[in-house]
A and B are shown apart, each in its own frame.
Chain A
Amino acid sequence: MQHLRQLEDQSVYILREAYKHFDNLAMLWSMGKDSTVLLWLARKAFFGHVPFPLLHVDTSFKIPAMIEYRDRVAREWGLKLVVGQNKEALAAGMNPAMGRVNCCTALKTNGLKQLIEQKGYTGIILGVRADEEGTRAKERYFSPRDKHGDWDFRDQPPELWDQFKTTFPPGTHIRIHPLLDWTEINIWEYIKAENIPFIDLYLDKGDGTRYRSLGCAPCTTPIKSTAKSVDDIINELRHTTTAERSGRAQDEGRGMELLRKDGYM
C-alpha cells in the first residue's frame, strides 16, 4: 500500500502543478484503465472536483460499451466532457484498412491536434505510463510539443526534483504525464484499493478472454484469460511475461515511435 500512496502523492502533486500553471487545461480520457485512474487522481487532487474538461477523441471505431461507460460516468461524476472527431477524414473514408499508422494518425493524432487547436488548450494531461512501450519510457512529466504538436525527444528540457516545465512560447503546448512512474500492476492495485469503477471489458465474462489494453475495436484483440475480478487480473499480471500492448496492432514495427514523434498520445 505504501508504494501506491507514494505514486498517488506524486501524481496529485503533478496534477496540482498543471492546474496552477495552465489556464486552458484539459485531460484526455479514453475510458481505459489508465486514464480512468488518472481521472480518479484528479478527483483526489481537487477534493472530489474535476476543474477541467475531459477530452475524448472519438475515432468512431471504439467498442460501443466504452461510449456507454463514458456517458454514464460523466453524468454521475458531473464531468465536463468534450468529444472531438476528425470528421473530414471519416467522411473521406479513413479506416484501419487504409493502413494502421495512417488511420491512427488521421483519427487519433490529427483528431487530437484539431481539438487542441480549436479549443486553444495549452496543457493536455495524459495517462501514458513509462512501462507501456519504449518511446513512452523517454517522456518527461511535463513534455513540450511544438506548434505542429511534434515531440523533439532528442532535446528535452531538464526536469529537476519537483520542478517542471510550466512556461512555454505561444502556439506550443505541454503534455503532462502524471502516471509516468506507474506500472500496469500498480494501476490495478490502485483500482482495487480505491474501488474505482472500471469498464468490464477488462474482465473475462465466461468465454475465456478479456481485453488487457483498450483501443479501437478493429485494432485491439482480447487476450486469453479467465480473470474475472481485479484480484484475478493482479494475480495474472504478476505471473505473465507477455507485453501489455501485445494486443495493440499499432505497436508493430516502428509504429509507436513514428506516431508519437508526430504528436500521438
Chain B
Amino acid sequence: MDNLTQKPSDNLNIVIVGHVDHGKSTLLGRLYADTGSLPDGKLEKVQAICRQQGKEFEYAFLFDAFLEEQEQGITIDTARTFFGWKGRQYIIIDAPGHKEFLKNMISGAARAEGALLLIDALEGVKEQSKKHGYLLSLLGVRQFAVVVNKMDLVGYRQDVFDGIEKEYREFLGQFKAVPQQIIPVSAKLGDNIANRSEQMPWYKGPTVLDALSSFKKEPGRSEQPLRMPVQDVYKFDARRIIAGRVTAGRVKVGDSLVFSPSNKRATVKSIEAFNVEPPPVEGHAGQSVGITLDEQIFVERGEIASHQEALPLVSTAFRANVFWLGRKPLERGRRYQLRVATKEVDCEVASIHRIIDTMDLSQQQGSNVVNRNQVAELTIRAKVPVAFDLSASFEATGRFVLVDEYDIAGGGIVTELVHDDQEFLREEARQRDFAWVKGEVGVEDRAQQYGHRAAIVLVTGGRHTGKSFLAKKIEARLVADGRHAYLLDGGNLRRGLDADLSEGERGQAAEMARRYGEVARLLVDTGLIVVSTTNPFGMAYVEAAQAIRTLVHPVPVIAVHMSKAPEEAPPNTDIVLSGPTDFDEATRRILEELKRRGVLAQAIGAKPTFQYSI
C-alpha cells in the first residue's frame, strides 16, 4: 500500500466530536493504526505503559499524550494529531466530549474543515450528541459524517442503526444541517473504518476513511463579493501598505475600493509581497495580502474593504446566536469587547431574547443571563458603528467573539441587522460621501499643510453651564497656537441658512441637527478644527450630538460634557466637567485629548507625526 511509504502534502483539518465515552479516542487510535501512520515504537511504548499500570491495551491510549490523562481517562484539551491517507494528510483536532470541556471542543471545531460526530449505538443519541451537532452548525462546519460506533455491542443490528439515524436526522433537520454520511462502525474491532465490515452486509455506504476522502477543501469563497478586513497599516519604508486577509472574493490592482464604515474610497495601486516574482496583481479569499492605494487616505484596522456594488452592513446593533463559555455568566447591560473580523470595540448585550436548549431546541425566555455552555439569541449593541455581514451570506465577517476582561468568553454568528436611530443619517452620509466631488487637494495634503487634522470639539450640556464660554476659549487658544480652528455657532446658522424655516420647522430638533451636521461636515472637509456647542438644540443635546457624529463620521469628535452638578453624560463623552469649571484646566485637557486622538502634532509648528500618520 502506497500509503504506508509516502507521507502526503495535501491536508485537511478534521475534528472528532460526540458524547463522552462514545469512543472518539478509540476511533482516532484505530485510524492512526489502520493508515500506518504511527511512528516506530509508539505502539510498543503505549503498550509498555499499559503493562506498567496493569491495564489492558486500548487504541484510545495512543492519543493521550499526557500520562495524567490516561490516569483520568479523558482527554484534557484540544490536541492535534496527524495521519495520512490516499494522498492527503488529516490533521485531527481532538476535541474532548466531557461536559466541562466544551470550550476545547469549540476551539477545535472552529478551525475544522470537516467533522466526524460519534454516537454510541448502545446508548443512542445523547445530550452531547445533540449539542455538538448544533454547535458544528453554529460554528460553520458544514461537512460532517455521523459515525455510529460500538455496533458490535448491539449485534450489528440494522434496526438499531436505522433508529439512531432517523432520530438524529430529524434533530439535525430542525436547523437544516445535513450529514454527508451516517456510518455504522466498530472502532474497537475495525469495522467500516478502513475496511468494509463483513458483519454488516446491509450497509452499502462508504467507510469512515472513504467518507473523509470525499470531504473537500474549503469551498472557494473567491467567487463571492470582496471582503478584506483591514488588519494593520504599515510604513516600514517608502510604501504605505494596508495589510489584511481577503476573507471573500478577490482584490485586484486597479480595483476601486470602499472602506466601511468610514466610506473612504481609493484605488488599488499595487499588491505587495516579499520574495514573489513577478509581483502579484491579485489576491483571493484566504490570502494574507498587502495593498497600496493611489491616494493617501486614512483607514484603520477594523474597516472592511469591499467593492461599491456589494457593501457590508453598517450599524451599531445586530441580532446574533451566541454560545457562551465564560466563567462568569453573560449579563445583559454589562460591557464586553466585541470583535468582528479585525474590529475591536466595546459593546453591551442590549437584550437576551431567548436561551436555546440544545437538547430539544426549545426556547426559554425572560432570562437576564446566559450561563456557561449555553446558547442564546441576543441583540448586541456596539459603542460605535461597525461593518459586518450576515453569517448566512459571509462566513468570516458574519461571526464575532465577545471578550470578557482578558479572555474570549463567547462566540456567535450574526443573524440579523438591527436598525438603529442613526440609520437614515448614516445612509445619507454614505450616499453623499460616495458622490462627493473632490478637488486636487486631498485630506492628507491639507493635514500636512496645516500641521493638524480636522476634528470637531463638541460641547454638550444643559443651559447656563458655560458651554459657549469654553468653546470660545478653545477656539482662541487653538488659533493662538497656530491651528486652523473655527467656532461654529448655532445662532448664526438660524439667522442665515435656516432663515427660510418657519418657527415650527425650527422646533424640529432632528432636522436642525441634520443641517448643523452637514455644515460641520463641510467645514471639517476644509481641514478645520471646528469648535461647537449643542446650544441650538436645548435639552435635545443627546440626540443632536449623535446625529452630528453620524454626519461627520469618521472625523474625530472630541465630546465634552458640562453640568452644574454630576449627571449622566451622553454616550461616548470624552471629557466630563461638572461643578464649577476651571476653564484653563478644561482647555488643557481638551488639547491633550486632541493630541491623544492624533489630531494635533506633538509640537506646535512641527509637521505632524501623528500616531496613525501613514
Which positions in A face B, CB cutoff 8 Å? Answer: 2-6, 8-10, 12-13, 16-17, 19-20, 43-49, 51, 130-131, 133-135, 137-138, 140, 153-154, 156-163, 165, 167-169, 180-181, 183, 185-186, 189, 194, 237-239, 241-243, 254, 257
Contact = CB atoms under 8 A, between A and B. Distances in A.
B297 interface: no
Contacts of A13: 231, 245, 288
Interface in B409-430: 409, 411
Contact of A167 (B39, B79, B286, B406): B406
A242 B286 contact: no
Given A47-B239, A137-B81, A165-B407, A242 B39 contact: yes
Given A158-B103, A160-B106, A138 B6 contact: no
B38 interface: yes
Nearest to A51: B236
Contacts of A46: 234, 236
Given A165-B408, A243-B39, A137 B65 contact: yes
B199 to A, nearest CB: 31
Interface stretch (B124-132, B396-404, B516-524): B396-404
Interface in B70-104: 76-82, 89, 91, 103-104
12 contacts: A10-B288, A16-B231, A16-B243, A16-B288, A20-B301, A44-B275, A134-B65, A135-B66, A156-B104, A157-B103, A158-B106, A163-B411
Q: 3 nearest interchain CB pairs?
A: A134-B65, A130-B80, A12-B288
B111 A161 contact: yes
Interface stretch (B7-15, B50-58, B349-357): B7-15
Contacts of B286: 6, 9
A43 B325 CA distance: 36
A6 B11 CA distance: 10
Interface string B260-298: 000000000000111100000000001110100000000
A189 B273 CA distance: 20
Interface string B361-401: 00000000000000000000000000000000000100101
Interface centre among A45, A137, A242 (most CB of B within 10 A): A137
Interface in B314-373: 325, 337, 339
Nearest to A157: B407
Contact of A160 (B7, B275, B408): B408
B408 A158 contact: yes
Contacts of B243: 16, 45
Contacts of B401: 160-161, 163
B107 interface: yes
Nearest to B82: A131
A185 B82 CA distance: 12
Contact of A242 (B13, B40, B110, B409): B40
Contacts of B396: 161-162
Interface centre among A163, A239, A241 (most CB of B within 10 A): A163
Contacts of B81: 137
B455 to A, nearest CB: 24
B613 to A, nearest CB: 17
Given A16-B231, A161-B111, 11 more contacts: A6-B286, A8-B288, A51-B236, A137-B80, A153-B77, A158-B325, A160-B401, A163-B401, A167-B407, A180-B80, A241-B40
A156 B77 contact: yes
Contact of B79 (A3, A19, A137, A237): A137
A181 B107 CA distance: 14
Interface residues of B, number: 61
A13 B325 CA distance: 25
Contacts of A140: 78, 107
B272 to A, nearest CB: 6
Contacts of B599: none
A241 B38 contact: yes
A6 B288 CA distance: 9
B80 A168 contact: no
Given A12-B288, A160-B107, A189 B9 contact: yes
Contacts of A135: 65-66
B174 interface: no
Interface string B133-156: 000000000000000000000000
Contact of B9 (A43, A167, A185): A185
A72 B406 CA distance: 40
B241 interface: yes
B232 interface: yes
Given A3-B11, A181-B91, A138 B65 contact: yes
A8 B289 CA distance: 11
B91 to A, nearest CB: 7
Given A3-B11, A167-B406, A181 B110 contact: no
Interface string B1-28: 0000111011101000000000000000
A20 B245 contact: no
B606 interface: no
Given A3-B9, A158-B325, A168-B406, A138 B40 contact: no
A167 B346 CA distance: 14
B67 interface: yes
A238 B2 CA distance: 11
Contact of B7 (A6, A51, A130, A185): A185
Contacts of B13: 181
Given A138-B78, A185-B9, A189-B9, A9 B104 contact: no
Nearest to B12: A3
A17 B342 CA distance: 9
Contacts of A19: 232
A27 to B, nearest CB: 16
B503 interface: no
A83 B166 CA distance: 63
